[in-house]
Structure 1
Amino acid sequence: MSEIPLQHIHVAPDHGFDDELAPAVFVLHGRGADEEDLLPVARHLPDELHVVSLRAPDPLQGGYTWYELDLSAGGLESSQPHAAEFRRSLDLVAESVDAAVESYGLDPDRLGLLGFSQGAITSLSLALEDPDRYAWVVALHGYLADAHANLEPAGIEGKPVFVGAGAGDRVIPESRSTAAADRFDEIGAAVTRGSYPGGHGIGQQELRDVVAFVESQVAEEA
């Protein structure tokens, strides 16, 4: 078994697959949270999925963060990831995905990403850096980092991407999530959008839409 660089929680499917490799979702939490934060969301996803919930590398206020914020463009609403720390976290997630595929018997062709806030920003960037690695992406209350905004990788065409945003989100305004969805539309991804009345959190309707999206992806892969 390969050592997985990031601390994590692994939840195996409810039923066995014998010798068949199983699909998986890699879950990336938001700033100041940890690998347990999104497990209540993951529990609603299809039973046949492995869930690998990763912990960000740096401690922050009782939780963890994927990177510090670059506020040089203005306030929080204009923030960008700190370049060096962002690069490190992207590499750590990619290495953890590769190691988990080997360690847990995951199907390398049926891997999804589900991220919230910083985890969504990280997920969108990973999808652009290596679109063939991920079958689908869920990005909730995030944005597309400037460092990746101009990428147009081969393999992104038709990639299913769900982008969820909060109309009342004061941490990451809906306009930033909408801009990310627009960009993925421009480069040919199959974008599903969701706008919800709440703030920086996942409400019940958003959860239902995410579950329906993931169910449809897992059914198509089967």
Structure 2
Amino acid sequence: MFAYDIYEPIDRKVEGKFPTIFTLHGIGADELDMPGTLEPVMDRFVIVSIRGSVQQGPGYSYYKPVLDGEPSEKTVSYAANNVHEFIEMILKQYSSIDRKKLYLFGFDQGGIVAMTEFVKNGGMYHGGVFLSVKLPTFLENGPKNLLLKSKRIFIGHGTKDPLIPVTEGERTAKYFESLSDDVTFQTFDVMHNVSEEESETILEWFLKEEVDNPTVKKENS
């Protein structure tokens, strides 16, 4: 279904379970693009990096981009459904994953697909990180998922982004604030990319939860 890389904590015990982050890259990138940001927390999290299935130049995407406007609900939902099925498959294959602490982490198009999956199946996720994204109209106008009320959400956007204006990040944050009581929105002095400052902020966001509420545990404990 998807090519992927998985990074499990090196010193884990066989019975150990860890919070897990599923990453989705931007247009034209691949599964190697996102994990670098998360390398400092690979001793505490399982990282599953998902490569898009559509060839896009030297890299990949999750659906074929449109030149004008935004992709159809059918197009994005199809990609999100495939991601959902893939995640369900991964959960069955790897015993190191703590099903109660699943995160989605997406940039650009990967963030759009991740948001769609998160909104539709938010009950299974603990939180989501969506960077440099544009909120699909069908999500904004669609039914509200009440299961998202306690979910942790981080929205990041560059103030100089020429591809997706920072106003889209503001719009996305406002949307999620209508669904969740735990939304963080932060802008960064960058274009359509993730800066070192943004990476550090994201890592702190992930680690704060795990420091306050550690979940590394033994099976059946």
Q: Establish whether TM, by shorter chain, passes 0.5.
A: yes
- Judge conservation of contact 1:163–1:181 (CA < 8 Å) in 2: yes
* Cα shift at 1:89: 1.1
Correspondence for 2:65 = 69
Q: What are the within-5 Å matches in structure 2 for residues 27-176 of structure 1?
A: 27-72=23-68, 79-105=69-95, 106-150=97-141, 151-176=143-168
* Cα shift at 1:101: 1.0
Q: Distance in 1 between matches of 2:214 and 2:171?
A: 28
Q: Distance in 2 between matches of 1:177 and 1:100?
A: 30
Task: State whether structure 2 residue 17 is matched by structure 1 residue 21.
Answer: yes
- Gaps of at least 5 residues in structure 1 are 73-78
Q: What is the root-mean-square deviation of aligned Cα atoms in Å?
A: 1.5
* Cα shift at 1:6: 1.1
- Judge conservation of contact 1:111–1:136 (CA < 8 Å) in 2: yes
* Cα shift at 1:218: 2.7
- Judge conservation of contact 2:146–2:179 (CA < 8 Å) in 1: no
Number of aligned residues: 212
Q: Distance in 2 between matches of 1:129 and 1:49?
A: 24
* Cα shift at 1:63: 0.5
Q: What are the within-5 Å matches in structure 2 for residues 202-213 of structure 1?
A: 202-213=194-205
Q: Distance in 2 between matches of 1:131 and 1:139?
A: 14
Task: State whether structure 2 residue 180 is matched by structure 1 residue 193.
Answer: no
Identical aligned pairs, as a percentage? 23
**SS of corresponding position for 2:40:** coil
Cα deviation 1:78-134 (Å, max 9, x = unaligned)? x42343332221011101111111111111111111111111111111111011111
Task: Provide closer, same or farther for how the CA distance between residues 93 and 69 of structure 1 changes in structure 2, counting only shifts above 3 A.
Answer: same
Q: Distance in 2 between matches of 1:149 and 1:211?
A: 28
- Judge conservation of contact 1:169–1:200 (CA < 8 Å) in 2: yes
Q: Distance in 1 between matches of 2:58 and 2:173?
A: 32
Q: Distance in 1 between matches of 2:159 and 2:67?
A: 23
Cα deviation 1:140-186 (Å, max 9, x = unaligned)? 10122112113311211021100000000011111001100001112
Aligned with residue 175 of structure 2, among 177, 183, 190: 183
- Judge conservation of contact 1:161–1:189 (CA < 8 Å) in 2: no
- Residue 30 of structure 2 aligns with an amino acid whose one-letter code is D
Q: Distance in 1 between matches of 2:194 and 2:163?
A: 13
- Gaps of at least 5 residues in structure 2 are 216-221
Q: Distance in 2 between matches of 1:152 and 1:83?
A: 16
